[in-house]
Amino acid sequence: MRQKLSNSKRWVIKIGSALLTNDGQGLDSNAIAGWTEQIATLRKQGKEVILVSSGAVAEGMTRLGWTKRPHALHELQAAAAVGQMGLVQTYESCFKKHGIHTAQILLTHDDLSNRKRYLNARSTLRSLLDLGIIPIINENDTVATDEIRFGDNDTLAALVANLVEADILVILTDQNGLYTEDPRNNPDATLVSEGKASDPELHKMARPSAGTLGRGGMSTKITAAQRAARSGTSTLITSGRTDQALLRAAKGENLGTLLLPDSEPMAARKQWLAGHLKVSGKLYLDDGAVKVLKTSGKSLLPVGVTSVTGNFMRGEMVACLASDGTEIARGLSNYNVIEAAKIMGKASSEIEAILGYVDEPELIHRDNLIIL
């Protein structure tokens, strides 16, 4: 399967804060120059590359003389605004030496949860790739709030991989890959060379805590691989400090941990639905409705809903939960929370009599529903 990497045309490469800033010592210009040189070589090999880069907040902290990552949102946003300048300048100058133009794209989760903006982002990225330009993507930390942020750039990279239907997502980190246990605590821990992204055992191996600079950890990288798999994208987690890691991976060398998708790629609209990280409400379903959704691929009717919570409008994302609280699906509601509460448990033929009108016979149409 490693040889498959050499045939992968569209790459999304994510580089973490610890690598970019040399563990908080300011931007590591030499390391960035090394990665850009490798990416330039990949380009000559006919590969398309999108770069998802952390480091803005960490670089801003260095410029501001801060030794600890702040918790206050306005301070994080200020650090991101300051650091983004240095980050982009460094990339631009490094890629310019190879005659490659770059483009900066800052995204929030709100950009990708809105269908129109999602499609616009996809068109922009595809146009940039067609023009031979390398997009450099980061979360827009300057304006993002807790409600609309991705949470970490591993998640952002996975959603970008879905957005452009990448062949491979490469997550460069300060670890060699996923180990069976934390190698810092257990010298007998072994590197997981290859696996299926959907394997539930992977999260048990991953260390959940994050570093000082970044928000992610190995667990977020496993989750990112699972998200990327929705579009048929394989994920390679490997050390960015390994000499020529990108070029060696492109040759099929056995580096890091390769996690493969084990199901058919979702349709583009379903990928967009699955990429929603936030929900505005919850619908609790009876056992019959749960079974129908899981096995029949049908729409959710109001008769199968037993309880409604949250504060959602028509067209907003809601979670569908079994009676024990397990989330089984997500979808866009055809009715707001007040309307949904009135028609829950009722037959679709009763909607007009209850509300005085009827928009749709389904609470969530199957085209706007994703099974988890």
Q: Give the CA radius of gyration of the chain.
A: 22
| pLDDT on residue 146 | 52
How many Cα atoms within 13 Å fall on the side-chain side of residue 5?
26
Query: What DSSP string describes 320-355?
Result: EE-TTS-EEEEEE-SS-HHHHHHHTTS-GGGHHHHH
| pLDDT on residue 180 | 87
How confident is the model over 300-313, as a mean pLDDT?
A: 95
Q: Confirm if 18 and 174 have CB atoms less than 8 A apart.
A: yes
Task: Specify the pTM.
Answer: 0.81
Q: Confirm if 175 and 242 have CB atoms less than 8 A apart.
A: no
- Mind listing the pLDDT tens digit for each residue in 76-102? 888 888 989 999 999 999 999 999 999
With a cut of 50, say whether residue 210 has pLDDT above it: no
Q: Which residue has the higher pLDDT, 127 or 4?
A: 127
How confident is the model over 158-184, as a mean pLDDT?
A: 90
| pLDDT on residue 115 | 81
Chain CA centroid to CA 175, Å: 20
| pLDDT on residue 263 | 76
In angstroms, the CA 3 to CA 7 distance is 7
| pLDDT on residue 38 | 97
| pLDDT on residue 312 | 92
**What's the mean per-residue pLDDT of the chain?**
87
Q: Confirm if 229 and 197 have CB atoms less than 8 A apart.
A: yes
What φ, ψ does residue 229 adopt, rounded to 5°?
-60, -20
How confident is the model over 333-347, as a mean pLDDT?
A: 95
Query: What DSSP string describes 53-109?
Result: E--HHHHHHHHHT-SS---SHHHHHHHHHHHHHHHHHHHHHHHHTTT--EEEEEE-H
Instruction: List domains and CATH numbers for the chain.
Output: 3-271 (3.40.1160.10), 279-371 (2.30.130.10)
| pLDDT on residue 352 | 93
158 pLDDT band (50/70/90 cuts)?
very high
Beta-carbon contacts of 114 under 8 Å, excluding residues fewer than 6 positions away, are none
With a cut of 80, say whether residue 315 has pLDDT above it: yes
With a cut of 50, say whether residue 215 has pLDDT above it: no
Q: Which residue has the higher pLDDT, 140 or 319?
A: 319
- Mind listing the pLDDT tens digit for each residue in 235-245? 999 999 999 99
3-state SS assignment for residue 275? coil
What letter represents residue 247's amino acid? Answer: L
Q: CA separation (Å) from 184 to 55, 179, 189, 253, 254?
A: 25, 10, 9, 25, 22
- What stretch of H or E contains 161? helix 153-164
Exposed / middle / buried, residue 12 (Cβ in 10 Å: 0-12, 13-18, 19+): buried
109 pLDDT band (50/70/90 cuts)?
confident
| pLDDT on residue 148 | 36
User: Pick from 74, 137, 55, 111: which is nearest to 278 by CA?
Assistant: 111
In angstroms, the CA 246 to CA 192 distance is 19
In angstroms, the CA 331 to CA 272 distance is 11
- Mind listing the pLDDT tens digit for each residue in 239-279? 999 999 999 999 999 999 999 998 778 777 788 787 777 88
